[in-house]
Amino acid sequence: DARVTQTPRDKVTEMGQEVTMRCQPILGHNTVFWYRQTMMQGLELLAYFRNRAPLDDSGMPKDRFSAEMPDATLATLKIQPSEPRDSAVYFCASGLGDGETQYFGPGTRLLVL
Amino acid sequence: GENVEQHPSTLSVQEGDSAVIKCTYSDSASNYFPWYKQELGKRPQLIIDIRSNVGEKKDQRIAVTLNKTAKHFSLHITETQPEDSAVYFCAASNPRTGFQKLVFGTGTRLLVSP
């Protein structure tokens, strides 16, 4: 049963530190999404990749967030510098083409002190 | 852009009862409507989805209905069980943005009491 994997599962850091979250999409999937989930805002789309190319990152604070796909098996989301308001659960999801089902990873729970 | 509203925010039922969660969307071009179930501390998992060329879809105890004219869709769970307790999210997606961006509702917390 293929699944999206994410690391780390939990991260506690201090304000100002760099945070890197990693995602391994399901083998063969060509779309990757990064979401942020908070109680107040729900599930928000941060970035979207198709065939490793970033197609939309309008939901991402550009000054501190960056998302990349170094290769087809790895997607990264980086926050530098981190702030307490970045505390949330970050989910990666992958899919097979546009308009297809998105499968979520287990999430990275981030706490910025 | 697309806006998805979901009601109710919480729903409590007795085991064996039916549960209905409703969502409305704003963009008539939306053509894909998935429902996700998220248990506490877990990932959202797709439980059923429907496309705009279909009015209803069933999978055992769950069903989804779509009314394109009214721009709303609903999740129906029959014979609820305690393990159905979770947060349920609806979403809508359309190609107008150039890709199939999912816009999620705010979630419904379903509690099924034994």
Q: Is the pLDDT of residue B80 over 60?
A: yes
Strand partners, B102: B93
Query: Tell me, what's the pLDDT at B94?
Result: 76
Is A48 part of the contact surface with chain B (CB cutoff 8 Å)?
Answer: yes
Q: Is the pLDDT of residue B98 over 70?
A: no
Which residues in chain A have their CB less than 8 angstroms from residue B5's CB?
Answer: none
In tens, the pLDDT along B44-77 reads 999 999 988 889 999 999 999 999 999 999 999 9
Which residues in chain B have their CB less than 8 angstroms from residue A91's CB?
Answer: 43-44
Structure tokens given for B64: 């989804």
Closest residue on chain A to B35 (Cα):
A101
Interface test with B, best of A102, A108, A109 (most B CBs within 10 A): A102
Quick check: B9 and B33 in contact, CB under 8 A?
no
Q: Do A55 and B99 touch (CB under 8 A)?
A: yes
Query: Tell me, what's the pLDDT at A98?
Result: 66
Query: Tell me, what's the pLDDT at A41?
Result: 82
Q: Is the pLDDT of residue B100 over 90?
A: no
Q: Is the pLDDT of residue B7 over 70?
A: yes
pLDDT along chain A (113 residues), means of 10: 92 97 95 92 90 87 93 96 97 83 95 97
Is A102 part of the contact surface with chain B (CB cutoff 8 Å)?
Answer: yes
Question: In whole numbers, what is the pLDDT of chain B averaged over residues?
Answer: 93
Query: Tell me, what's the pLDDT at A81?
Result: 96
**Strand residue runs (E) in chain A:** 5-7, 10-13, 19-24, 31-38, 42-50, 53-56, 65-71, 74-79, 88-95, 103-104, 108-112
Query: Tell me, what's the pLDDT at B96?
Result: 66
How near does any CA of chain B get to the CA of A113, in Å? 21
